[in-house]
Amino acid sequence: MGNIFRFFLCAQAVFVLYSCDVLKGKINCEDILEKTYSNSSLNNFEKNKFKDLLDERYPQFDEMFEEASIETNIEKNLLAAISFQESQWDPKAKSNMGVRGMMMVTLETAALVGVEKRLNPEQNIKGGAKYFAMLQEKNKIGPTDPDKLSITLASYNLGPTNIFNIANSIDKEIENVSWVEISEQLKTIKGSELNLTDKDNYTRGQQAIDYVERVKNYYQLLSAHSCIAPRDQLIFF
């Protein structure tokens, strides 16, 4: 009888410890989420819209992002963050510049990565992921991994040739050029200098800076919703 009683007490103790661990994990996840939203530079309207679309649109594409992540070795939450910034996860998104779909792929890029139907969300996500992976692999600019990540994102937005030319104008040894240095240059660059179009007084250079910042914010929110602690997330700059 004593052995059975001791076994029962031990079992209870294990259950209590397990329950505490689960509860602790839940509290930590909620804490990560709360702090991430609080620290985000996005405004309240942007945060609320993101949360709404995360519930309403994202689930149907989650598996596609997962498959693209596996194929390219690019973190799923990063791909989803790029896609949200590009199209707000709208597979029919398009711009007057001729880009289309979830990752806003151009005709030229589509041909390069083998996308036949840009409005097909699976093809578009995988094509955009493949293109980003290509940019990341070819990028030689930046002294650190965070620099390289931010610079690759800027290349996805502004074009790799434009980013290379900016880096080269700063230092011929482009591997020494940081994202901070490139972003300082971008602040002074107008669309006409890159054969691109500014939006009113919102210069194309500043748009690229904001693009990187916003992808970073969306990535951190997605990671928080996945209960990934900040120490385990990608570092941008």
- pLDDT by residue (tens digit) across 75-115? 999 999 999 999 999 999 999 888 999 999 999 999 999 99
Active site residue 86: yes
- pLDDT by residue (tens digit) across 36-54? 999 999 999 999 999 999 9
Output the CATH code of domain 42-131: 1.10.530.10
- Dihedral, 111, 117, 123, 127 alpha carbons, nearest 10: 20
Catalytic residue among 30, 46, 86, 116: 86
Per-domain residue ranges of the chain: 1-39, 42-131, 139-237
- Dihedral, 162, 210, 53, 82 alpha carbons, nearest 10: 30
Cα 122 from Cα 101, distance rounded (Å): 10
pTM assigned to the model? 0.86
